[in-house]
Amino acid sequence: MSNRQAEIAAALDVVPPFADDAALNAEIERRKTFIKHVLKQSGLKVLVLGISGGVDSLTAGRLAQLAVEELRTETGDSAYRFIAVRLPHNAQHDEQDAQDSLKFIRADEDDTVNIAGAVNGLGEQVTHLQKLSDARRDFVVGNVKARIRMVAQFAIANANNGLVIGTDHAAEAVMGFFTKFGDGACDLAPLSGLVKNQVRAIARHLGAPQHLVMKTPTADLEELRPGKPDEEAHGVTYAEIDAFLHGEAVSDEAYATIVRTYDNTRHKRELPLVP
């Protein structure tokens, strides 16, 4: 492991590889305990999470549902609950995966908020968007979608006196692969520190369908490239990112890409600059 690998892994609190099933089980229990602790400490009783159809939201959603079920049993308080929210932009090309995720999670409440009207309405008012090329506008509007989705989740959480869950984990954090003040905004991030194959391992252990566990990850924010794979945007694979974070050898090209991207996206992982 190089000094930079060790530095970055420490900064992101990367969880070591699971040695065996006992370690995997222990990590699942630790994550559920974390969720329960945060909820109890807040004095609130509701959790909210947007469900995309990908393995990250599927895993965080199932952990959240298990956590509130345990809280209901432990406290006798039926007010603890989890709300899973679908946030499509018009029709989502992989809607069936999202529905399969909801069936697996079995949330106390499912809700749907179509964000297309809000995104389009804002786009019509922001004249600066009209000056951009099609590709650039598509990228900027993609970030608008991520931010509107989080606005919707916080609105639902506020209406129910609850907290919003985020799905960020170490393999995304190191690449800055989230929208600042969009999907990077949340009250708690129960997957933090995990690499991608660990998120998949937890989902598989919890009984998630294999087609969702191994689904090609995509932020799916661009209209011109629906379903664009994360790895295409990264320029490296998740296997390479995971290996890097766990201190394993990767190609010189992958190493340089990960370190450069980590440094360039530092602002996303820090609080706003102040005087």
Active-site positions? 56, 172
Residue with tokens 């932009």: 89
Residue with tokens 């298990």: 66
Look at the alpha carbons of 206, 226, 129, 265 in this order and tell me if their dihedral is positive or negative.
Answer: positive
CA distance 146 to 200: 23
Beta carbons of 49 and 189 less than 8 angstroms apart: no
CA distance 86 to 76: 29
Beta carbons of 167 and 60 less than 8 angstroms apart: yes
SS3 assignment, position 112: strand
Closest-CA residue to 109 (of 144, 168, 159): 159
* Tokens (6 digits) for 249: 């050898």
CA distance 69 to 72: 5
Look at the alpha carbons of 200, 205, 208, 214 in this order and tell me if their dihedral is positive or negative.
Answer: positive
